[in-house]
Structure 1
Amino acid sequence: MLAGALAVTAGFMLAPTRALAASSPIVTPTIRPPFVDYQPPTRPGPLRIDYTGGVTLAWGAATDDSGYVVYEVYAGGRLIARTTSTRYLYSTGPIVRPQPYYFAVRAVDGAGNSSPKVFAPQPVYEEPRVVPPPLDVTLQDWVRGYVSLEWKEPAATTVTSLPIAGYEVSVMTIARSDAGTPIVRPQPLPVAEVGGAFLRMPAPPPGRYVYLVRTIDAAGNYSVPARLAVVRE
């Protein structure tokens, strides 16, 4: 067969091949972690009640880095509506049944991240209220480059406990002195306020950390923090 000619085998035409030069570079693709929307929306509010011609709830808009939020409306701890509006008509009648009403609204983005709830103004209680802290805080690997801080919602411990609005997450970094003694940064750094019992976030660099999670009740009171010490190698 002549050099450079095309070979025909069993009805198939094979193109002439050319060897790669020994100096051809090998390109290694850059592997990037997947994009994850872990940032919850801001808390909407304040939440106000208009009794003109019924019961209408109105609140200030929340913001989110994705640009999209839907609002969940709660009455007595029960989800009653989802809306993209900042108003909700609860009742058109002139009279509602005489009972305590706890109205709340929270924002949820397209990835399912939720803000803490905002509640309508509450009556003032003379008795002190106990805000129960969250339980069993853990840190789990989630997807590459991200972790999930998770905890269990507390149960009401006294009859004076108010509904839970959400949780505040902060972190302290533990450094070591030249002598090897642990040094805790005195002020926790806020991370986020969330409406659910988890927070997804980028994995921290290697080091020692203490995560603190506090419960926020309907009146804006905070519990003592639940703590989790973490060592990232």
Structure 2
Amino acid sequence: MPVVLSLNVAQKTTPVDYARAGVTGIDKRPVDGPLEVSVPGPQGTAGGGIAGDSIGDWTVHGGDYQAVYGYAREDLDWWQAELGVDLHNGQFGENLTTQGIDHTTARVGERWRIGTATLEVSGPRVPCRTFAEFLGQRGWVKRFTQVARPGAYFRVLEAGRFAPGDEITVLHRPDHDLTVELFFRAVTTEPDLLPRLLEAGDSVAPHMIELVHKRSTPGVS
């Protein structure tokens, strides 16, 4: 049975010199819950998502299409063996550490029921300098990209509450084959795949749809 192994939040932002905003909310730690999850609104608007979770830079994090970030404990275990370091739940900045369900092969637009909330898979996490510096891993952005186990972002379709131990039920799986992994490869190493993002309709963030159209229009970059 797929479950939420851990619910993780950053109770406050951490001042750092390597983040663009000067602070980061990547240092997320397990909490007991249950916590409310709500619809954030457009990116750049502070608020929403998981109650009590702090975000450092609202211009690139949060918002409807990055309301919740999930990562599989199975993938954390793989990285733990690969890196030779202990990785606690929340170490990758994920809000939900799950067990028994694969994020990489999840389809964009897939709907998960957790507690009383309904979430929809909206895309992958793309690594950044803050992630690399926080982990202290040299060449981390390149390595994370090559392995392509990015975890999944979710938008909130139905606000509610969830907690560690809650069962994860897949309510809907779209009939297209745009997975989180394919999306990730399209926006990182294989831009020729970008048109595939259109398969998922409004489950993909509007700015990504705009990017696809720009890339497909001659003379526009």
Q: Same fold (TM over 0.5)?
A: no
Q: TM-score, normalised to structure 2's length?
A: 0.24
Structure number having the greater helix percentage: 2
Structure number having the greater strand percentage: 1
Q: Higher relative contact order by CA 8 Å / sep ≥ 6: 1 or 2?
A: 2
